[in-house]
């Protein structure tokens, strides 16, 4: 299938029409707008990533399992550390996105400057061509009017050839000659303008083809660049997911080393208070107590009473 190109499909049958050229320029402007939109998208996404990274970093600094001990404490420390690393990886992603956005901005500005020179040159040619076409049309109108004036003078001279005096015939002849000369001059000017317009048209045709080729090349570069930018952006997001998963895998590995029974035994060994329970409290009759000496248990309980209680008695 034959490939289509700008230079073959944006002409117009009217000499001064710029419809085809304007259509290309409109499309290029739309493409430039798309570049700016994607560039803004990348910057906004970078801002989101940065905000998320900073909040996640702040979260990783908060107390989490401070009172825990042994294997679970170690796992929670890894959890906090890897949360911090995930936040730093998102911060790096944000910076990478800003760099990609800057590259796209530079590309857009570079295309803009290159296009500006071609557009200025083409705009000048369009104005010159339109002005020359207008001048040629006016010269043609003048030429046709002078030809009609010459014919009218010749017809008038012929009609009065037999009825006019010699002096009148001389005047009519002089007037006819003057009209003829004027028509010839108008013909020369008209022909000259047609020739200039033809040369200008040829120059414009060549420059239009060059402009179309240049604009098509820019469009190919723009589409390719945007495609690669989005592709790279997705690769960065995928890599971020991989990096996050690798960091979180460290937490999972640490949790696998968390031994519940070991932590229980560690706490017991560290905080044990004894292995014997308290003795049962016996029932003692009040009246029997009055008649008998205090029991060993009663004495021990008295010694355990707070001193303030004795002051209150």
- For the segment 61-107, what is each residue's pLDDT rounded down to a tens digit? 887 777 778 888 888 888 888 889 999 999 999 999 999 999 999 99
Q: Give 140's contacts (C-beta < 8 A, 6+ positions apart).
A: 190, 193, 194
299 within domain boundaries? no
For residue 144, give the CATH number of its domain: 1.20.1270.60
pLDDT at 60 over 80: yes
The rounded mean pLDDT for the chain is 87
pLDDT at 156 over 90: no
Q: What pLDDT does residue 293 have?
A: 54
Alpha helical stretches, state H, the chain: 6-9, 19-60, 70-159, 166-256, 260-271, 286-291, 296-303, 307-312
Give the C-alpha separation, 302 to 105, whole Å. Answer: 88
For tokens 């790279």, the residue is 232
Hey, CA dihedral for 19, 23, 24, 26, is it positive or negative?
A: positive
> Domain residues for 195?
6-271
Residue 140's nearest CA partner among 196, 193, 184 is 193
SS3 260: helix
233 within domain boundaries? yes
State the total domains in the chain. Answer: 1
308 within domain boundaries? no
| Predicted structure pTM score | 0.75
Q: What pLDDT does residue 313 have?
A: 45
How far are the Cα atoms of 64, 94, 241, 242 from residue 248, in angstroms, in the given order? 16, 20, 10, 10
Give the C-alpha separation, 113 to 120, whole Å. Answer: 11
Q: What pLDDT does residue 162 have?
A: 64
Residue 196's nearest CA partner among 146, 139, 151, 143 is 139
pLDDT tens readout for residues 167-216: 777 777 788 888 889 999 999 999 999 999 999 999 999 999 999 999 99
């Amino acid at each position: 299938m034959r490939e289509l190109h700008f230079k073959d499909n944006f002409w117009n049958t009217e000499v001064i029409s710029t419809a085809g050229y304007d259509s290309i320029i409109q499309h290029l402007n739309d493409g430039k707008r798309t570049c700016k939109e994607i560039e803004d998208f990348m910057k906004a996404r970078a801002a989101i990533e940065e905000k998320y990274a900073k909040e996640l970093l702040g979260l990783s600094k908060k107390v989490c399992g401070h009172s825990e001990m042994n294997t679970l404490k170690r796992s929670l420390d890894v959890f906090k550390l890897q949360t911090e690393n995930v936040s730093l990886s998102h911060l790096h992603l944000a910076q990478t996105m800003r760099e990609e956005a800057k590259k796209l901005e530079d590309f857009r500005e570079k295309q803009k400057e290159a296009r500006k020179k071609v557009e200025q040159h083409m705009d000048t040619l369009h104005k010159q061509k339109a002005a020359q076409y207008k001048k040629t049309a006016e010269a043609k109108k003048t030429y046709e009017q002078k030809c009609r004036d010459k014919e009218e003078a010749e017809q008038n001279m012929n009609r009065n050839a037999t009825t006019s005096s010699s002096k009148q015939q001389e005047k009519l002849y002089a007037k006819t000659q003057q009209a003829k000369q004027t028509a010839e001059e108008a013909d020369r000017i008209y022909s000259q303008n047609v020739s200039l317009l033809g040369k200008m048209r040829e120059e414009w045709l060549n420059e239009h083809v060059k402009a179309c080729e240049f604009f098509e090349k820019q469009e190919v570069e723009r589409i390719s660049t945007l495609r690669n930018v989005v592709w790279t952006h997705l690769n960065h997001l995928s890599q971020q997911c991989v990096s996050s998963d690798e960091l979180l895998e460290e937490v999972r590995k640490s949790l696998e080393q968390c031994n519940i029974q070991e932590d229980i035994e560690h706490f017991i060994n560290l905080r044990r208070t004894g292995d014997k329970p308290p003795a049962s409290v016996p029932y003692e009759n009040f009246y029997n107590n009055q008649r008998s000496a205090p029991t060993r248990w009663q004495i021990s309980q008295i010694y355990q009473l707070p001193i303030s209680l004795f002051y209150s008695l």
